Amino acid sequence: MKITRKQLRQIINEMIESSIDAEILSDSDVDSDVSEVSPPRWRGTVEKMKDDDIDNPWALAWWMKDKGYNPHYKDDGKKYKKYKKKKSGGG
């Protein structure tokens, strides 16, 4: 089914009109529906971010995951081996 530009404009205008008529939610309604879900394998890192007073660690973790970053903490809170500081063996 092909849609002409005129039909597309009409559909968009109808959607805009219906959304204007819709009830506007308050901030408290929106906040109660938001679920705080960390990306897979990022729970430990998100918990560490919460300890560091980051405003929205879940959003930051999803952004970092999308950019290709890797989590530094496992889900149980322990640091991944490759991110642990190496002990210097002074000699």
The alpha helices in the chain, defined as continuous H runs, are: 5-21, 27-33, 43-51, 57-67
Does residue 61 have a pLDDT over 90? yes
More confident: 67 or 16: 67
Q: Which two tokens stand for residue 23?
A: 């009830």
Express as a percent the part of the chain with pLDDT over 70.
77
Poorest-confidence range of 8-12, 13-17, 43-47? Answer: 13-17
In 10 A of CB 42, how many CB atoms?
25
Is pTM, for the whole model, over 0.85?
no
What pLDDT sits at residue 2? 80
Does residue 41 have a pLDDT over 70? yes
pLDDT averaged over the chain?
A: 79
What pLDDT sits at residue 70? 92
